[in-house]
């Protein structure tokens, strides 16, 4: 009950918290009390950090649920009390949970990688931009890439290893699928022996990286991280369409099957450019956002809400 009292004191003294509800003894496993409240998105991670310091996550749990719509003057006042804009706020626990879900090397991930590379292969054979774009959207590779960026900024070795494993297995599986599919198409006469992706301007960019390849991948990395931290799925869709990781991977398999080694080297270079630039730009974006959060966290250390809960006022690193 002492921890519950401190948590209530903390939340009650935080201006960005509204609609505070306390249900004594409502929890059964583990046994304890239930506290419900609404927190302005701008202060969500800061409040969660305070609750962690009180030990709430050790003996109980902290659950987050996003509210889509709410009619409440108290909630509006709480939002006004939190500095910044909700659309710019980063809930780091939400980011960690979201990336954790998308970096798992499972059957669905590999299936999507194979399907994406097969769609991209057909798009390359037919010189069809629509099929190539569709393959980019289907490809699940951005999840592990984002997870790798988060792991680098937060120094999470476990997340980095899981992300690298998904990428290290997923791309070879997709490339192998494109390779075998090309052999089948060649054997059945669906494509010519002398087929080359660079023979058509629609697919030439996949096997011939240029200066703009670096620029596009860098911009995509920034946009991807911003869409991840702000939960803007529409922006993320644009990121998936703007980078050529999946088409390049498919073209590696196609070129190897047809022994077009110039195309193979070009596609390998295109894939390396995209992966490296997305990673570097993503890490830079997250690093800047993390610096902004840490600065705000340091300013919060002397807040009266922490004093009300008996928390120290000295800076705590996160």
Residue 203 belongs to what domain range? Answer: 92-295
* Secondary structure of residue 26 in the 3-state scheme: strand
Peptide bond preceding 30: is omega within 30 degrees of 0, i.e. cis? yes
- In this prediction, residue 51 carries a pLDDT of 94
Q: Using one digit for the tens of pLDDT, what is the confidence trace for 6-18?
A: 999 999 999 999 9
* 133 and 6 in a common domain: no
Q: At residue 142, what are phi and psi to the nearest 5 degrees? A: -70, -30
Backbone angles phi, psi at 102, to 5 degrees: -105, 0
103: helix, strand or coil: coil
pLDDT of residue 85: 80
Structural domain contains residue 309: no
Single out the residue of 245, 58, 262, 50 nearest to residue 135, CA to CA. Answer: 245
The verdict on 75 and 110 lying in the same domain is: no
pLDDT in single tens digits along all 318 residues of the chain: 588 999 999 999 999 999 999 999 998 888 899 999 999 989 999 999 999 999 998 888 999 988 888 888 998 999 888 888 877 788 988 888 888 878 888 899 999 999 999 999 999 998 888 999 899 989 999 889 999 999 999 899 999 999 999 999 999 999 999 999 999 998 898 887 677 766 767 677 787 778 888 898 898 889 888 888 876 655 566 666 667 799 999 999 999 998 888 889 999 999 999 999 999 999 999 999 999 999 989 888 988 899 888 888 754 444
Do 163 and 252 lie in one domain? The reply is yes
Label residue 281 exposed, middle or buried (CB < 10 Å: 0-12, 13-18, 19+). Answer: buried
Regarding whether 152 and 262 lie in a shared domain, the answer is yes
Answer yes or no: are the C-beta atoms of 209 and 149 closer than 8 Å: no
Give the pLDDT score at 318: 41
Query: Among 56, 133, 63, 73, which residue's Cα sits nearest to residue 93?
Result: 63
Task: Tell me the pLDDT tens digit for each residue of 235-267.
Answer: 566 666 667 799 999 999 999 998 888 889 999
pLDDT value of position 209: 79
- Same domain for 103 and 82: no
Q: Which residues of 169-197 are buried (b: 16+ CB within 10 A; e: fewer)?
A: ebbebbbebbbebbeebbeeeebeeebbb
| 33 contact partners, CB below 8 Å, separation of at least 6 | 1, 4, 22, 23, 24, 25, 26, 27
- The structure's pTM equals 0.83
* Number of domains the chain contains: 2
Instruction: Tell me 207's DSSP state.
Output: H
Domain end residue (candidates: 45, 72, 88): 88
* Whether 37 contacts 19, CB under 8 Å: yes
Which residues are CB-neighbours of 140 under 8 A, at least 6 positions away? 102, 108, 109, 112, 113, 116, 170
Answer whether residue 171 is part of any domain: yes
């Amino acid at each position: 009950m002492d921890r519950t009292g401190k948590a209530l004191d903390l939340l009650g003294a935080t201006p960005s918290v509204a609609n505070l509800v306390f249900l004594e003894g409502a929890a059964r496993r583990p046994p304890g009390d239930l506290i419900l409240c609404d927190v302005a998105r701008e202060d969500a991670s800061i409040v969660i950090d305070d609750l962690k310091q009180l030990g709430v996550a050790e003996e109980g749990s902290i659950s987050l649920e996003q509210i889509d719509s709410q009619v409440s003057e108290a909630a509006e006042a709480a939002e006004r009390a939190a500095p910044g804009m909700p659309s710019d706020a980063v809930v780091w626990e939400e980011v960690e949970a979201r990336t954790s879900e998308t970096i798992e090397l499972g059957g669905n991930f590999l299936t999507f990688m194979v399907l994406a590379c097969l769609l991209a292969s057909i798009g390359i054979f037919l010189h069809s931009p629509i099929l190539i774009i569709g393959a980019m959207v289907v490809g699940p590779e951005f999840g592990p890439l984002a997870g790798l960026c988060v792991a680098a900024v937060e120094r999470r070795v476990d997340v980095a290893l899981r992300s690298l494993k998904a990428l290290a297995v997923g791309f070879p599986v997709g490339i192998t699928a494109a390779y075998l599919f090309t052999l089948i198409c060649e054997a059945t006469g669906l494509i010519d022996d002398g087929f080359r992706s660079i023979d058509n301007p629609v697919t030439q960019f996949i096997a011939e990286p240029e200066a703009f390849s670096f620029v596009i991948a860098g911009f995509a990395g920034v946009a991807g991280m911003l869409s991840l931290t702000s939960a803007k799925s529409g922006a993320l869709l644009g990121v998936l369409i703007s980078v050529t990781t999946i088409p390049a991977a498919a073209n590696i398999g196609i070129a190897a099957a047809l022994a077009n080694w110039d195309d193979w080297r070009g596609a390998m270079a295109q894939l390396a450019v995209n992966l490296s630039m997305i990673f570097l730009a993503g890490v830079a974006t997250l690093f800047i956002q993390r610096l902004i959060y840490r600065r705000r966290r340091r300013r919060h250390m002397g807040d009266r809400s922490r004093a009300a809960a008996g928390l120290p006022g000295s800076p705590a690193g996160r």
